[in-house]
Amino acid sequence: MPTNLVINGEDRISTRGSMTPLIDVLRDEFFLTGAKVACREGICGACTVHLDGRPVVSCLVPLATVEGRDVRTVESLAAAGEPSPLQQIMEEHDVVQCGMCFPGILMVLTSFFQERPHAERDDIKAALVGNICRCTGYERLVDAAAALARRS
Amino acid sequence: MPASTGERLYVATSLADAVAALADRGPAGAPLAGATWIMRAPIRREELRSSYVGIGGIAELRSVEMTDDEIHIGACVTHADLIAALAGVEGCDGLVAAAGGAANPAVRQMATVGGNLCTSDFPASDLSPALLCLDASVELRTPSGQERVPLGRLLDIRRTLEPGTLVTGVVIARKPVQTGHSRLPLRKAGDYPVAIVSMAVALGSDGLIEDIKVAVGSVEASARRWPQLEAQLLGHPLDPAKAYELAKAGVGVFAGRESVEAPGWYRVQVLPTLVRRAAQAALAARQQR
Ligand SMILES: Cc1cc2nc3c(=O)[nH]c(=O)nc-3n(C[C@H](O)[C@H](O)[C@H](O)COP(=O)(O)OP(=O)(O)OC[C@H]3O[C@@H](n4cnc5c(N)ncnc54)[C@H](O)[C@@H]3O)c2cc1C
Ligand code: FES
Ligand code: FES
């Protein structure tokens, strides 16, 4: 049975099987390759997207459970062609190394800052415990996020 | 929807629909709530079942309701929703700490209370010991009716439940207790805790323990209470250092499970320290009020 979902504001229909992980639908069917797939077990956070506004690891979301729901991927952050303030500050601080972890980190921090715009450094670190950066670029990443919190 | 349509995952729209769909599938089917355990089957080199009934979106199973006497937690309440509903509620500090320490923020948005308690191959559940020491009961729904059983009983029988059985909710009686939850992961997140201790204490006006429940998780295959330690602590002041000493002398009642993450002896050896920390957390919960 096809699954109807709204991805980055657009109605989409997926024909994949009901237990297909959402990450595979996003990447292989709709070519939204921003979200990465690494561990497939909820540990690394590289596949994080927003489902109805909340961050989830899309490797563990079966397609059929997304019927009629709102999915946002990292591609939606610069929808008007202009990077979001979070993306801009990450660029200013030259945070990205290989970039594998980065889309997930942006999605987690985007929703975190919606709730906690003035968060402290320790809270930012706690918010990121589910995002593993194999290049270990945590220091600049947290510096950049803390700078954004100070600015807002 | 009948199983004959061939979809591997049928997403139920109501509790009645889920009960009927599960009955239709019999032993071949199983509930799917947050899916965070089921979707990792390939990593564990396990086969997926031929049929699942999705229950995570059923509104009747997603609310937390509080009266003066009871707290009712729907089976499909996520860890994140549980924290939001119970933060600051008397007696729930340990449970909130359990939900907030488990997994990572994105998984906490997905994994449910019912899924956490029903995963029989998962020894490291944080909610099990936290709810055991709150004397929680579990509501079960089968095609033939419904019943309420103590959580400890569910943990004993969960492998052999009649096919089609759903946990629909968890019920906690509201009592004037202070609770603490202490866990030892080896990393900040992502790995399971090596051992867990939860504690619920009722202190009399004289400062002596009138009632105490201690539960241990992740050390053995299922969480369970520690009645010997409870008996020794009863009637005394809650002194974390004394609790540590008593726990150290009595840990022999646990047989730690072996796994690649930690040897069995280590899981047992850390218990006294976790008892002390759980006692400190329970005392701090009292002092906040
Ligand atoms: C990276 C990671 C780290 C984690 N760390 C921790 C941790 O530290 N502590 C912790 O406690 N948890 C942790 N978890 C969560 C835990 O391992 C399970 O994945 C989770 O609790 C399962 O809940 P679920 O709702 O996703 O269940 P599902 O995957 O949907 O189901 C799991 C099992 O329960 C059954 N089931 C589900 N709901 C019901 C119901 N209402 N009635 C009857 N049967 C039901 C299913 O049929 C299945 O057998 C972690 C998960 C991940 C991915
Ligand atoms: S690929 Fe999903 S959490 Fe690692
Ligand atoms: S930048 Fe390489 S994994 Fe984080």
Which parts of chain A have pLDDT scores under 70? Answer: none
Q: Where does B60-173 sit in CATH, by number?
A: 3.30.465.10
Assess whether pLDDT exceeds 90 at residue B142.
no
User: What is d(CA B138, CA B75) in angstroms, rounded to the nearest whole number?
Assistant: 9
From residue B252, give the alpha-carbon distance in Å to each of B38, B156, B256, B262, B267: 34, 21, 10, 18, 12
Pocket test for ligand 1, best of B118, B168, B184, B219 (most atoms within 8 A of CB): B118
Domains of chain A: 3-76 (3.10.20.30), 85-151 (1.10.150.120)
The predicted-structure confidence for A47-86, as pLDDT tens digits, reads as follows 999 999 999 999 999 999 999 999 999 999 997 889 999 9
Query: What length does chain B have?
Result: 289
The predicted structure's pLDDT at residue B289: 56
Task: Name the strands in the sheet holding B209-217, side by side, starting at the edge strand that comes first in the sequence.
Answer: B178-184, B195-203, B209-217, B224-225
Assess whether pLDDT exceeds 80 at residue B185.
yes
Domain limits of chain B?
9-54, 60-173, 182-287
From residue B186, give the alpha-carbon distance in Å to each of B67, B194, B278: 38, 7, 18
Q: Where does B182-287 sit in CATH, by number?
A: 3.30.390.50
Assess whether pLDDT exceeds 90 at residue B190.
no
Are the C-beta atoms of B151 and B116 separated by less than 8 Å?
no
The predicted-structure confidence for B221-277, as pLDDT tens digits, reads as follows 999 999 999 999 999 999 999 999 999 999 999 999 999 999 999 999 999 999 999
The pTM assigned to this predicted structure is 0.96
Query: How large is the average pLDDT for residues B165-186?
Result: 96
Among residues B58, B23, B36, the alpha carbon closest in space to that of B106 is found at B36
User: What is d(CA B182, CA B117) in angstroms, rounded to the nearest whole number?
Assistant: 18
Architecture (CATH level 2) of domain B9-54: 2-Layer Sandwich (3.30)
Chain B nearest-CA residue for A129? B189
Whether residue A41 lies within 8 A of chain B, CB to CB, comes out as yes
B175: Cα separation from own chain's centroid: 19
Is the CB of residue A134 below 6 angstroms from any atom belonging to ligand 3? yes
Q: How many angstroms is it from B121 CA to the middle of ligand 1? A: 10
The predicted-structure confidence for B42-89, as pLDDT tens digits, reads as follows 999 999 999 999 999 999 999 999 999 999 999 999 999 999 999 999
The predicted-structure confidence for B14-36, as pLDDT tens digits, reads as follows 999 999 999 999 999 999 999 99
Q: Tokens for A52?
A: 């109805």
Q: Which of A60, A106, A131 to mutate to test the interface with B (most CBs of B within 10 A)?
A: A60
Query: Which residues are paired to A71 by β-bridges?
Result: A7, A51
The total of other beta-carbon atoms located within 10 Å of residue B160's CB is: 8
Q: How many angstroms is it from B241 CA to the middle of ligand 1? A: 34
Assess whether pLDDT exceeds 60 at residue B159.
yes
Q: How many angstroms is it from A59 CA to the middle of ligand 2? A: 6
